[in-house]
């Protein structure tokens, strides 16, 4: 279980909220809040193609998402060879 330290100014408020919510300890209440938020974040639809949304994620999560997207693109380019038509041929420069 979590061992949580709370600032002295906040402690009475958190204890009051904990009792009102029916929890026997502040740690149980805070654990409940953390798990509820984690569940909410997991269920929320997030557009990971939006760069501003992606940049708001923690670094580890960003890396995981980018690795997943890179793997998807490798698979896409291995299956769809149409892109190779654009890379073949002479390079022509117009001056």
Give me the number of domains the chain comprises.
Answer: 2
Is there a domain that residue 91 lies in?
Answer: no
- Residue 24 is part of which domain span? 9-44
Interhelix angle 11-20/26-43, rounded to 10 degrees, is: 80
- Each residue of 78-89: pLDDT tens digit? 777 776 676 666
| Element holding 70 (H helix, E strand) | helix 59-79
pLDDT score at 43 = 67
pLDDT score at 22 = 92
Is there a domain that residue 65 lies in?
Answer: yes
CA dihedral over 75, 77, 82, 84, signed as positive or negative: negative
Task: Tokens for 12, please give them.
Answer: 């009475």
Is there a domain that residue 68 lies in?
Answer: yes
Which of residues 37 and 89 earns the better pLDDT score?
37
- Each residue of 11-22: pLDDT tens digit? 888 888 888 999
Instruction: Please state whether the predicted TM-score (pTM) of the whole model is above 0.75.
Output: no
- Each residue of 40-76: pLDDT tens digit? 777 666 777 788 888 888 888 888 888 888 888 887 7
Is there a domain that residue 90 lies in?
Answer: no
Same-domain check for residues 53 and 73 = yes
CB 26 within 8 A of CB 13: no
């Amino acid at each position: 279980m979590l061992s949580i330290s709370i600032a002295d100014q906040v402690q009475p408020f958190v204890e009051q909220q904990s009792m009102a919510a029916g929890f026997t300890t502040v740690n149980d209440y805070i654990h409940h809040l953390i798990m509820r938020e984690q569940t909410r974040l997991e269920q929320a639809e997030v557009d990971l193609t939006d760069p501003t949304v992606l940049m708001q994620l923690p670094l580890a999560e960003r890396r995981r998402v980018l690795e997943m997207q890179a793997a998807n693109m490798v698979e896409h380019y291995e299956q769809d060879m149409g892109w190779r038509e654009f890379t073949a041929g002479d390079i022509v420069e117009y001056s």
